[in-house]
Amino acid sequence: MPFPSSRISGIVPSGKDGWEIHFAAWNRKQAGEDIIMLSVGDHDFDTPSETVEACVRAVRGGHHHYTQLPGIPALREAMAKVSTRTTGVPTSADQVLATPGGQAALYAAVQGTLDPGDHAVVVAPYYATYPGTFRAAGADFTVVEAAAEDGFQPRASEIEKALMKNSKAILLNTPNNPTGAVYSRASLEAIADLCRRRDLWLMSDEVYWTLGGGEHISPRALEGMAERTLVINSMSKSHGMTGWRIGWLTGPVDFITLLISLNLVSTYGINDFISHAAAEALNSDFGVERIAALYAGRRKVFLEAIRGINNIVVRGSEGGMYAMLDVRAIEPDSEKFAWSLLAAENVAVMPGASFGDAAEGHIRISLCQPDDVLKDAANRLRRFASSYGSKAA
């Protein structure tokens, strides 16, 4: 056959995307094995019933048609209200682009800010799709690692060292996946100052904004940043709607207006009846407080259960749906540790190396399991950690 484009061939150039352990564990679980899945951030509960019923009403109400390219007006208005509330910046509907999930919002932000050959800085640890999203745009990027010993707080001085003459943007994520770190005001103020001085776009992935253990601060709210910040958001985590694929991008009006053309040639709008249900869910906060309380409780249960395990240190883990465990004193190779844990104890976790070099020697624990399962997993991890050295020998 003819050759595919270098654009798609280079999105995952190594052929590995960090999910190999998860898929191997999932296949074993599907085959009937007793595997505890702590490797993926997908809720173990259904979407709130109020949202489901809103969707049923929308289907029965005839909302089966094409929608406006940037999203139906009711949905954009609802997203703008949430953006106003969560960032503290008055936001209008024409500053919002509705997208099929947060990943599509990230894709739009990268496509809208970077031309082929332009450069960006990505703060790590990062969500696993970030590098591929830049490659899909033909853009170059440099990863700047936030240190575990700093609680994974980014340092603006390190970011500035990585900037080049053709740098156009910085991408960060708070509350952070995979570490659960919630970036401090001081960290964000320093990065904002850098963006203003160097005239950079700041792409801020805030998908976990409701699941922080501390104060969530959007850099869009900082002085002089509304005109240069693009906020990536989603209903997947906050509203329990991972499979519904509803996200949005918030930014300056002129920028969002230009991005409507990207929807024209990519998504051609999003689902009609889901859009109406999502608008109702956003306006009524269906499930938001319950989901946030659930994960706060699970985080507490799991961290208490692993307390005192020799040579394992908790890093970050203030927010999001994850806990980040430093296992370097046991095994510095996070993939080796994760594969061995799966083989010995039937527990699937994500190796930190999947999220950048800063997370090497760590494992990410998804809290998307009930308390009793998390306690069981903690006990298996404790047993594994105590015997790993002798087994490895």
The pTM score is 0.93
Peptide bond into 175 cis (omega under 30): yes
Confidence band for 315, pLDDT divided at 50, 70 and 90: very high
Q: What pLDDT does 153 receive?
A: 96
Mean pLDDT of 321-343: 96
Distances in Å between the Cα of 121 and the Cα atoms of 35, 108, 160 are 37, 17, 9
Structure letter (DSSP) for residue 357: G
Please determine, for residue 2, whether its predicted confidence score (pLDDT) is greater than 80.
yes
Mean pLDDT of 344-357: 93
301 touches 101 (CB < 8 A)? no
pLDDT in tens, 235-282: 999 999 999 999 999 999 999 999 999 999 999 999 999 999 999 999
96 touches 83 (CB < 8 A)? yes
pLDDT in tens, 30-46: 999 999 999 988 999 99
Q: Spell out the long-range contacts of 192-198 with Cβ–Cβ below 8 A and sequence spacing 24 or more.
A: 192/219, 192/222, 192/223, 192/224, 192/225, 193/156, 194/156, 194/159, 194/160, 194/170, 195/170, 195/225, 195/228, 196/224, 196/225, 196/228, 198/160, 198/163, 198/167
Average per-residue pLDDT in the chain? Answer: 94
Q: What percent of the chain has a predicted confidence (pLDDT) above 90?
A: 88
Mean pLDDT of 148-169: 96
Q: Is 168 helix (H, G, I), strand (E, B) or coil?
A: strand
Confidence band for 392, pLDDT divided at 50, 70 and 90: very low
pLDDT in tens, 130-144: 999 999 999 999 999
Query: What domains are there in the chain, each with its CATH number?
Result: 6-46+288-385 (3.90.1150.10), 64-284 (3.40.640.10)
Distances in Å between the Cα of 40 and the Cα atoms of 11, 227, 326, 354 are 21, 34, 18, 12
pLDDT in tens, 194-229: 999 999 999 999 999 999 877 889 999 999 999 999
Residue of 295, 308, 310, 294 lying closest to 365 (CA atoms) = 295
* Type of residue found at 11: I
Q: What pLDDT does 17 receive?
A: 58
Exposed/middle/buried for residue 64 (C-beta within 10 Å: 0-12, 13-18, 19+): exposed
Confidence band for 15, pLDDT divided at 50, 70 and 90: low
Q: What pLDDT does 6 receive?
A: 83
Q: What pLDDT does 393 receive?
A: 38
